[in-house]
Amino acid sequence: MAYDGSCHCGAVTFSVEGDAPTQALSCNCSICRRKGMLLAFAPRSSLTLRGEESLASYLFNTHRIEHRFCTTCGVEPFALATAPDGTPSVAINLRCVPAIDLEALEIQRFDGASR
C-alpha cells in the first residue's frame, strides 16, 4: 500500500510505499515552526517522485537536512536526510498528503529549537 501527496500547485507529486502514518512529529526548530510541518519518516527508497525538475533545495545550520520545495508554489512536501543509523531517509510533510486525517494523528513533540 502507498500514500500520495503533492505541493500546492501539483507540479511536484509523490508516493510513499508503506502504510499511511498514524503518528507525526511536530518540531519547534526555526524552520518547522515557521512552516507548521507535521513530519513522518520513511526510507528514501520508499519515495517515488514526479516533478523533481520543479524542486529546489534549502540547507541551513548543519546542512544535514535537504529541505526540498516547489519553485512555483513554495510548498515543502518533504526533506531528505540520513537517519541516525545511516539509512537515507525522507521526512514527509503530512500536511501535503490529503488522505491523512491530521486530527487523528498522534503528535510527538520534538524540541529541535534546543539542539
CATH of the domain at 15: 2.170.150.70
Is residue 67 in a domain? Answer: yes
Strands 55-58 and 47-50: unpaired
The domain tally of the chain equals: 1
* Residue carrying C-alpha cell 507535521: 38
Query: What is the residue-averaged pLDDT of the chain?
Result: 96
Q: CB of 80 within 8 A of CB of 1? A: no
pLDDT for 62 equals 82
The domain in which residue 20 lies consists of 2-110
- Domain-embedded: residue 115: no
pLDDT tens-digit series, residues 52-105: 999 999 998 888 899 999 999 999 999 999 998 999 999 999 999 999 999 999
Percent of the chain with pLDDT over 90: 93
- Rounded to whole angstroms, the Cα distance separating 23 from 16 reads 15
pLDDT for the residue numbered 36: 95
Give tens-digit pLDDT for 2-13. 999 999 999 999
Three-state secondary structure readout of the chain? CEEEEECCCCCCEEEEECCCCCEEEEECCHHHHHHCCCEEEEEHHHEEEECHHHEEEECCCCCCCEEEEECCCCCCCEEEEECCCCCEEEEEEHHHCCCCCHHHCEEEEECHHHC
- The predicted pLDDT at position 33 comes to 94
